[in-house]
């Protein structure tokens, strides 16, 4: 039986949970997740744990922030004057927006706080700083 190794295209089913047990994502109700090991398409801790698995094998893993989406960084939060928002955007906490950086690149941000004159935008990944638990089943190796 073949084991997953660097360079293999793999298909997995997974369920991702927080330490509280709350599910944040799962492929169980949709098509299996497919990616190539060693190409950095997934978080490092997830990829590392799939290497060496056999088809049909299931395992539960814990991935610390450093092997997932990193620690939360305060420098990725910025306060913006409300006057800088277009008239058609009414910022609300939790709202997902896109912002253009000075170099022209676009980044995704979340509205973290709304005050009378300012809005706090957070460019941290929503899962940054979190320990993630995954139940993984390796379905296919090509």
Over the stretch 59-88, which tens digit does the pLDDT of each residue have?
999 999 999 999 999 999 999 999 998 889
- Listed in sequence order, the DSSP H helices in the chain are 44-50
Structure tokens at 31: 């098509």
Tell me the β-bridge partners of 35: 10
The model's pTM is 0.82
**Average pLDDT for 50-67:** 97
Considering the domain architecture, whether residues 81 and 60 belong to the same structural domain is answered as: no
pLDDT of 99 higher than 90 = no
The whole domain housing 117 covers 74-122
Tally the domains of the chain. Answer: 2
Residue 54 per-residue DSSP state: B
> Residue 16: how many CB atoms within 10 A of its CB?
19
Considering the domain architecture, whether residues 19 and 49 belong to the same structural domain is answered as: yes
Considering the domain architecture, whether residues 48 and 78 belong to the same structural domain is answered as: no
Considering the domain architecture, whether residues 22 and 64 belong to the same structural domain is answered as: yes
Burial of 4 (0-12, 13-18, 19+ CB in 10 A): buried
Residue 2 maps to a domain: no
**Average pLDDT for 104-122:** 95
Considering the domain architecture, whether residues 61 and 101 belong to the same structural domain is answered as: no
Considering the domain architecture, whether residues 64 and 131 belong to the same structural domain is answered as: yes
């Amino acid at each position: 039986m073949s084991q997953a190794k660097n360079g293999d295209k793999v298909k997995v089913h997974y369920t991702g949970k927080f330490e509280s047990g709350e599910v944040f994502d799962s492929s169980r109700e949709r098509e299996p997740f497919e990616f190539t090991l060693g190409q950095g398409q997934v978080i490092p801790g997830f990829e590392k744990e799939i290497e060496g698995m056999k088809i049909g094998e299931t395992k539960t893993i814990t991935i610390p922030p450093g092997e997932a989406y990193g620690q939360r960084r305060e420098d990725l939060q910025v306060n913006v004057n409300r006057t800088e928002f277009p008239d058609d955007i009414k910022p609300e906490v939790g709202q997902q927006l896109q912002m253009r950086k000075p170099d022209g690149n676009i980044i995704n941000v979340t509205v973290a706080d709304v005050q009378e004159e300012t809005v706090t935008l957070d460019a941290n990944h929503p899962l940054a700083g979190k320990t993630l638990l995954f139940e993984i089943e390796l379905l296919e190796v090509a």
